[in-house]
Amino acid sequence: MELLNKTVGAIVREQGKQIPENEAYVYPELNLRKTYKEFDEETDRLAKAFMGMGIQKGENVAIWSDNKPQWLLSQFATGKMGAVLVTVNTNYQAAELNYLLQQSEATTLILDEGFKGTSYLEILKTVCPSLPESDGSHIHCSSLPNLKRVILMSEKNEPGIFNWSEFLEHAESVSDDELSQRLNTLNPDDVINIQYTSGTTGFPKGVMLTHNNVVNNANIIGGTMKLTSQDRMCIPVPFFHCFGCVLGTLAAVTHGSTMVILEQFEPTRVLNAVQDEKCTVLHGVPTMFIAELNHHNFKQYDTSTLRTGIMAGSTCPIEVMKQVIEDVGAEEITICYGLTEASPVISQTKTNDPIEKRVSTVGKPHPNVEVKIIDPSTGIELPLGESGELCTRGYHVMKGYYNNPDATAEAIDEEGWLHTGDIARLDEDGYLDVTGRMKDMVIRGGENIYPREVEEFLYTCPGVADVQVVGVPDEKYGEELMAWIIPKEGVQLREDEVRTFCKGAISHHKIPRYIELTDSYPMTASGKIQKFKLREMSREKVNL
């Protein structure tokens, strides 16, 4: 597949001209619908407002909210005028926000009033106490010397902050010609997005992604799913993560598909949107699909229009994948694997892959993407079928970590290979099987155990809705396994039932010594299960 050499802004402009009357996006709960022509015009106005505020090409603009229309418009408007969109995790609190704004050197912050009971405005005032005393254009915050302006995604009047209408008024001072000139100066190799990694260990790092990184990755993702302008994509995953803004919005826009957007995930809202908007595409992390499948009224919803979608973000259980195909009806559902540093997708299953490959692998590497499996201790490339660290090279590899050359050099070697830290193997047909993170591997009495393998087996146990397996320290064996199981709704599952199910079916050393029944897991805002927290909880449970 030939790579595109286009900016994010140019893609929107093209679709506005080629399919002007096709619906670009729908917010079912807001009764909001816009065509591609209107979407192009809206993002023009927003781009001009950024320019009217004095924001220059390459300036970092942070955005902090759930999937609001203003977030969507800001993503593509910055793509037209060249500011770098810095995405902020919706779960952040004061210390995390302060760190991100400092580290990213953001000059502008766009934010909503709050999220799930947390007041973003109050958090911001904690981080920047002098904000109410500023005139909006000249913020003086001692801990954030780069921050110049704050924009609120509502009409609320707050001292020192532009509300949304006040922000949009700045568009009046910029002509269409000035915007066109700015758009024409943008280079597809310019950084357009900084995404902070989840930070499960150490401080989050700002991954710098270019137009070419995200536009091409999105285009190939959509092509693999066979997206067209007739498709309607339900996007319940958060925009601040690559899943939302590359696999979601950008994959849709590069193919002229309609985005059906939910501000926050909730299974009833998703099922309503799929049914009422006749969605053909549905995205989600495994926990989202599990919640939809276990919805008490699931069978009453009409999901027959669904054709494809993406399950990604964390390990995709085989049993859940089968249910999505058989019960939800998304027969061409695909699995994507990757990481933010790879824009993010490295490999993807195809809509017509054999069912056994679609449920047991993460597909083949994308076009224009190189992969190799190495021995992590020697760096030597391993033959087919052997497990080692997955490395990748190509157009999709990030530009680097923002203001962090040491971390960049550690992640990308001198030959341009990005070291993922994931354990994988390539089979004889060229499909990738990712068995887990290198740090997730459990060594019990000298035996290497990959939690993914044990999880996949436990998913077949009757009564198990979800399962996560981690290692805990053990005096005799070095490490033992602990399984955290969420039972299916209405099922009274017992630990001894699970152990009985395991005996004689998997090797003795793979049967979890500890089994804990729970109703939820510690999660990131993007839906990833935080295994490091599960490990901490596990150690506390076994008094270690």
CATH classification for the domain delimited by 442-541, as one of 3.30.300.30, 3.10.20.30, 3.60.21.10, 3.40.50.300: 3.30.300.30
Domain with CATH 3.30.300.30 in the chain: 442-541
Q: Which of 72-86, 250-264, 355-369 has the lowest mean pLDDT?
A: 355-369
Tokens representing 477 are: 């064996």
> What are residue 503's phi and psi, to 5 degrees?
-60, 130
Across the chain, mean pLDDT equals 93
Backbone angles phi, psi at 368, to 5 degrees: 65, 20
Q: Give the model confidence (pLDDT) of 154-185 as tens digits.
A: 999 999 999 999 999 999 999 999 999 999 99
Q: Look up residue 211 and give its two tokens.
A: 């137009």
Q: Of 243, 234, 236, whose CA–CA distance to 288 is shortest?
A: 236
Q: Is the pLDDT reported for residue 201 higher than 50?
A: no
3-state secondary structure 104-122: HCCCEEEECCEECCEEHHH
Is the pLDDT at 445 greater than 80? The verdict is: no
Residue 544 pLDDT: 53
pLDDT digits (tens, 9 = 90+) for 121-156: 999 999 999 998 887 677 888 889 999 999 999 999
Whether 202 has a pLDDT exceeding 60, the answer reads no
pLDDT at 379 over 80: yes
* DSSP assignment letter at 370: E
pLDDT at 200 over 50: no
Q: How far apart are CA 315 and CA 449, in angstroms?
A: 16
Averaged pLDDT, 213-218: 98
SS3 160: coil
DSSP class of residue 363 equals -
CATH number of 37-196: 3.40.50.12780
Rg (C-alpha) for the chain, rounded Å, is: 23
Q: Give, in degrees to the nearest 5, the angle at Cα 166 between 160 and 170.
A: 115
Q: Structure pTM? A: 0.86
Query: Which residue spans of the chain are classified as CATH 3.40.50.12780?
Result: 37-196
Looking at the DSSP bridge assignments, the partners of residue 33 are: 26
Which tokens in the block code for residue 165?
């209408």
- Residues 6 or more apart whose CB falls under 8 angstroms from that of 46 comprise 73, 74, 77, 168, 171
Q: What is the average per-residue pLDDT within 434-444?
A: 78
Q: What is the pLDDT of residue 132?
A: 87
- The three-class DSSP label of residue 393 is strand
Q: Residue 78 has which token pair?
A: 């910055």
For 457-516, write each residue's pLDDT tens digit.
999 999 999 999 999 988 777 789 999 999 999 999 999 999 999 998 887 889 999 999
- Report which of 452, 395, 391, 396 is spatially closest to residue 420, judged by C-alpha positions: 391
Sheet of strand 149-152, all strands in order from the earlier edge strand to the far edge: 149-152, 108-111, 60-64, 84-87, 191-196, 206-210, 400-401
How confident is the model at residue 245, as a pLDDT?
Answer: 98
Point out the least confidently predicted range of 17-21, 82-86, 375-379: 375-379
Residue at 459: amino acid letter: Y
- Helix 36-52 vs helix 69-81: crossing angle, to nearest 10: 70
Strand boundaries in 429-540, DSSP class E: 432-437, 442-444, 447-449, 464-474, 478-487, 514-517
Check pLDDT > 60 for residue 233.
yes
Q: Compute the distance between CA of residue 466 and CA of residue 456 in angstroms, rounded to an integer.
A: 10
